Amino acid sequence: MGKALIIGCGGVASVAIHKCVQNSDVFEEICIASRTKSKCDDLKAKLDGGKTKITTAQVDANNVDELIALIEEVKPDIVMNLALPYQDLTIMDACLATKTNYMDTANYEPEDTAKFEYKWQWDYRERFEKAGITALLGSGFDPGVTGVFSAHALKHHFDEIEYIDILDCNAGDHGYPFATNFNPEINIREVSANGRYWENGEWVETKPMEIKRVYNFPEVGEKDMYLLYHEELESLAVNIPGIKRIRFFMTFGESYLTHLKALENVGMTSIEPIEFEGKQIIPLQFLKAVLPDPASLGPRTKGKTNIGCIFKGKKDGKDKTYYVYNVCDHEECYREVGSQAVSYTTGVPAMIGAMMLMTGKWNKPGVYNIEEFDPDPFMDALNKWGLPWQEDLCPDLVDSEPIKAKE
């Protein structure tokens, strides 16, 4: 059916690429391009031999001219941005210049400030509309599937959604006292930022990890979880009409939090450059270099993830609750694609989002968050491509547990 140019060859990209190759009717050709070409070549060597034709290229995705030259050479139907959030705008610029569809899994962040906001990417709306191309923003799990779950709930279960709680539980154990499951720099920036949630038309700010709840996750059990800001809150607050409150909770174990606190206390999570032996270094980037590579966690991680959304709202004038979630097993993911579940739960929806554009199911010129499209074909594809969802019409609610603020 078509050709995709995939930028980035890390944890998430590797899963997405495995899935594209499994889906060769849609992905007849892929080009894997990244900063370090040898990683692309290694993956190609592993996956070659199937129906999908694979090529590789070196690219610096911070450089718009290089990207344009590559897109003109490859002539893809879509650019799948699976590099880092810092590269979103340069890749969008190159897509505009070459009139090529775009998708990503995380919103743009300037490298020097931990700011998660869609405003930079939403600013491209008119230009994408005029160019007749589509940008699909946030096609991972969260953001991504959580937005599709919200659109599905609105379409099939509610007249009005009033409350959404997004619950992201990773009960995987990799055996290290401290490691992050995806890019450590991005992960630590996210969890050390202030928390924030949307209530009654405004943002309520909290200190990092200030709000804690305990939740009994299906197939996983009871876990501590903490309120964080997460980027899909911003788009869902705009795209779910009449919404009163949206919150995002993520589970963290004691060991992770204790290490993070100590690292913060000694300044290792800072993104302010410091002088070291005559060189400017950023402590968080140095920390990334000494932590285990998330890709190396795959063979050692055991346990499950459970990510989903609990909705409360009205149907036919009556109160209704609805929980939809996916459970994913780290070891099964590793057996299938050689990665743990955190990369898997992001890489599969990245492939599906690209497929929605390549098959013409979701094409509309402009820049859109995932919940703005028809959720049905995406929900079907989740079941088919390895992330089956389950639902509960009478779930435990987050606030049936007492509030326990962290000391």
Q: Which residues pair with 246 in a beta bridge?
A: 164, 198
Taking the complex as a whole, how short is the minimal distance between the CB of residue 319 and ligand NDP, in angstroms? 30
Which is closer to ligand NDP, CB of 294 or CB of 313?
A: 294
Which is closer to ligand NDP, CB of 141 or CB of 378?
A: 141
Structure tokens at 71: 């897109």
Taking the complex as a whole, how short is the minimal distance between the CB of residue 14 and ligand NDP, in angstroms? 7
Which is closer to ligand NDP, CB of 101 or CB of 183?
A: 183
Which is closer to ligand NDP, CB of 313 or CB of 353?
A: 353
For the CA atoms of 390, 396, 399, 405, the dihedral, rounded to the nearest 10 degrees, stands at -80
Residue bearing tokens 């800001």: 229
- DSSP element (H, E) containing 350: helix 341-358
Which is closer to ligand NDP, CB of 131 or CB of 357?
A: 357
Taking the complex as a whole, how short is the minimal distance between the CB of residue 81 and ligand NDP, in angstroms? 8
Which is closer to ligand NDP, CB of 286 or CB of 404?
A: 286
The CA distance from 217 to 239, in Å, is 27
The CA distance from 21 to 378, in Å, is 18
> Across 59-154, where does the E strand assignment appear?
78-81, 101-104, 134-137
At 193, which amino acid appears? Answer: A
> Which alpha helices (H) appear in 99-178, and where do they start and end?
119-122, 125-131, 145-156
Answer yes or no: are the C-beta atoms of 109 and 116 closer than 8 Å.
Answer: yes
- Contact residues: ligand NDP, CB under 6 A: 8-13, 34-36, 39, 59-62, 82-85, 87, 105-106, 140-144, 182-183, 186, 294, 346
| Number of residue whose CB is nearest ligand NDP | 10
Which is closer to ligand NDP, CB of 23 or CB of 180?
A: 180
> Which alpha helices (H) appear in 220-295, and where do they start and end?
232-239, 254-265, 283-290
Taking the complex as a whole, how short is the minimal distance between the CB of residue 42 and ligand NDP, in angstroms? 11
To the nearest 10 degrees (0 to 180), the angle between helices 11-22 and 37-47 is 30
The CA distance from 246 to 149, in Å, is 14
Taking the complex as a whole, how short is the minimal distance between the CB of residue 186 and ligand NDP, in angstroms? 5
Taking the complex as a whole, how short is the minimal distance between the CB of residue 143 and ligand NDP, in angstroms? 5
Structure tokens at 342: 């955190």
Distances in Å between the Cα of 72 and the Cα atoms of 26, 67, 83 are 21, 9, 19
Taking the complex as a whole, how short is the minimal distance between the CB of residue 294 and ligand NDP, in angstroms? 6
